[in-house]
Amino acid sequence: MATLCRPAVSVPEFVITMEQTLDLARSVHADHPQLGLALRLIENTGVQKRHILQPIEETLRHPGFEARNALYEAEAKARVPAVIYRALDDAGLRTADIDLIIYVSCTGFMMPSMTAWMINTMDFSSDTRQLPIAQLGCAAGGAAINRAHDFCTAYPDANALIVCCEFCSLCYQPTDLGVGNLLSNGLFGDGLAAAVVRGQGGTGMALERNGSYLVPDTEDWIAYRVRATGFHFMLDKRVPTTMEPLAPALRSLAAQHGWDASELDFYIIHAGGPRILDDLSRILGVPSEAFRFSRATLAEYGNIASAVVLDALRRLFDEGSPVDSARGLLAGFGPGITAEISVGRWVLRGTCRAPAIPHSRSGAIGRRP
């Protein structure tokens, strides 16, 4: 059975606190007629700090879409390998053991995808399958887990690698003055995550069932407008209400599996904001504490888009992990409005790390003998 192993997570070194965010909003948008509303919305996000690629002075400048995308590519190539090596080590595998790479990002564009660069640079096999996902936004972390599950179900001896690389700060648009955009400027952070789904073996969440659900006629609630200056994030004021139509989809998938979504042992939920988590807690009838991993990600890193679910899962591992056979639910939400949902049991198969392997000069690790 396919098992989602411990994720590795990395965030950039530059930090901006909530207090700094509010001060910047007051100074940059001092004459905005709805500044008071924007400040209240930002304060209510639950974000205490975020990590960003560049110092704030550089982040606030817009050198053009071409320069930003070049920076995205350079930083992705510099930072992705480290999280991959840690995720492989935690799963007890090497690059040669990976049969599928799923690369997820909605904050930069490359063609060929980063998957091609990784295969050429990091000693993955040339016949490794590639699956880039670019347009599911925050839901893409859950989608990547589900597609890895599907792949390992079709090929039970195979292994899939998931990589999420989100540099949301590169989407900052100084000319967008809508309240929704001002809110997003205080909500999103930068982060990378990687995790392995093993077809056989491994400790973590054994994936048993997955599903997708799209709320009809909500495709304009979360969107990008692609303009000469890059990606312009559009956020409708109705987004915080999305748990009302989405929570039944979570209940339905759990019920198809013979489970009650209100009576599970752990929950890994994409934290788009505290309202999402509060409403889901109320609708499912579970204590707020059930979403503590998602709340911690939001507080310490902000909304890191597709990487949120992997970071929340990492926190579950780090807390001490559930007992063997504990039942859980994982869900990511994003544009569409789309939900990607998984249910499964925790499995403890002991530690199975790969033996230490020396890195080559290029940073690649060796194949299995």
Q: Which residues are catalytic?
A: 138
List strand residue ranges (DSSP E) for 90-229, in order: 100-104, 129-133, 159-167, 190-198, 204-214, 222-227
The pair of structure tokens assigned to 350 is 């002991």
247: part of which helix (H) or strand (E)? helix 243-256
The pair of structure tokens assigned to 84 is 């991959």
Q: Report d(CA 18, CA 358) in Å as an integer.
A: 41
Task: Report whether 273 contacts 251 (CB < 8 A).
Answer: no
Phi, psi dihedral angles at 179 (to 5 degrees): -60, -40
Give the number of other Cβ atoms within 10 Å of residue 228's Cβ: 6
Q: Report d(CA 333, CA 213) in Å as an integer.
A: 10
Tell me the CA distances in angstroms from 261 to 233, 277, 323, 328, 342, one per residue in order.
32, 15, 18, 9, 11
Phi, psi dihedral angles at 238 (to 5 degrees): -85, -10
The set of residues, in sequence order, having a beta carbon less than 8 Å from that of 83 and lying 6+ positions away, is 8, 9, 10, 163, 192, 193, 194
Task: Report whether 311 contacts 141 (CB < 8 A).
Answer: no
Task: Report whether 295 contacts 274 (CB < 8 A).
Answer: yes
Report DSSP letters for 262-319, one per residue: TS-SEEEE--S-HHHHHHHHHHHT--GGGGHHHHHHHHHH-B-GGGHHHHHHHHHHHH
